[in-house]
Amino acid sequence: MSSTVSQIERVFTAASHKKVWDHFTKAQRKNIEMWKKQSSEIKAVQLEDSLIEGEGEMDVSDSEEEPQRKKARNQSDGNEDIERLQSLKEENDSLRCQLEAYKNEVDLLKSETKAELEAKEKQMKMLQQTLKGMQEQLMQSRKQQAQDDQKIKDLTIKLNATKKEEPRESEIITLDKDDDISEEPRTPKQHILASSFIQVTQKDAKLIGLIATFLHIHPFGASVDYLWSYLQKMEPGIKPNEVEVLMQRFPQVFKQELFGIGANMERRWQFSGFNVYRTH
């Protein structure tokens, strides 16, 4: 019995350690402290009984009735101690099972947390790669836009440099009937070329140059609104219909094409001044 009490005391001592103690509820901690106290009391009683029995054996002069009463009392106390120890053992087994369950739950939570962290880390890496790709694409777009702006600027400077060679706005390039009179009769080809002259003012010439410059760096064409938003920066008073009418007057320089399918179909203007036109 003494060894059993010592074993139970060791279990309670191990349960009092901080790492294990934190897993018990407040009620369980209270029970453990009570059971630990009871086991200490039982051990003290056993030690006292052992001392009493030792003294009884040494005292040979005592009567025979007194040891029998002591023996009966010790047997009764021993039975109560055995029952109490049995109860403590059962409680100890229950606490051990609960402790094992808490340990398994902690291990499960650790594994779930580890898997969740790994998934989030993987998602973070994918987002970083996507962001890096978007940044590279944005840098390329900015670089291309800067090149396009520089081309427009260079062509605009060249166009402004030719203003001195253009006629004034009041001057109109036209061909009168008197101009058709020459000493020698014109060939059919010359007649076609002479009849193809169109009146062009200085403002029209400037707009034609700007439109041609803009469409030249946009080979896939542009809508009238897109062209108008560009031209109004240099000609604030211009209207979208004026831009479209001007391009319609020069079919050999500008042409209109349809892009897209169905509801996404769009009309765009393209520069065709470098195309070769043949007349038969």
Give the tokens for residue 164: 């001195």
- Which letter does DSSP use for residue 260 in this model? S
First to last CA, the chain: 128
Residues 214 and 243 sit within 8 Å (Cβ to Cβ)? no
Q: From first to last of its 280 residues, what are the pLDDT tens digits of the chain?
A: 667 767 777 777 777 776 777 777 888 878 888 887 887 888 778 777 777 766 666 655 555 566 666 666 777 777 787 888 888 888 888 888 888 888 888 888 888 888 989 998 888 888 888 888 888 888 888 888 888 888 888 888 877 777 655 555 444 444 344 444 344 455 554 544 445 566 788 888 999 999 999 999 888 889 999 999 999 998 888 999 999 999 999 988 899 988 888 888 888 999 987 765 544 4
Give the tokens for residue 233: 């920066």
Q: How many CB atoms lie within 10 A of CB 145?
A: 10
Check whether domain 202-271 has CATH 3.30.460.80, yes or no: no
**25 in helix, strand or coil?**
coil
**Burial track 22-36 (b if 16+ CB lie within 10 A, e otherwise):** eebeeebeeebeebb
Write down the pLDDT at residue 183. 44
Domain-wise residue ranges, the chain: 1-50, 202-271
